[in-house]
Amino acid sequence: MPRLSECIHPNTANYRFRRVARITGLKPADPLGMQRIAAALAARRMDDPSSGDGRG
């Protein structure tokens, strides 16, 4: 699997992380915040397999 830095521009990644933090109140730089974000994304993929990484 390619690294995030190989898929999108660093400014795009920074923008998306700031947006996640603003919308959810979670901080992606905080390990607990990242765990909660990852859990939410996993739950979303389980609910709708066609969302997410395009493999569903």
Predicted local distance difference test score (pLDDT) of residue 27: 92
Whole-prediction pTM: 0.62
CB count within 10 Å of CB 18 equals 11
Give the separation between CA 25 and CA 47, rounded to whole angstroms: 23
Predicted local distance difference test score (pLDDT) of residue 6: 77
The model's pLDDT over 1-56, given as tens digits with 9 standing for 90+, comes to 677 667 888 899 899 989 999 999 999 899 999 999 999 989 988 888 676 555 44
Predicted local distance difference test score (pLDDT) of residue 50: 73
Predicted local distance difference test score (pLDDT) of residue 52: 55
Predicted local distance difference test score (pLDDT) of residue 1: 65
Give the separation between CA 29 and CA 17, rounded to whole angstroms: 9
- Structural domain boundaries of the chain? 4-47
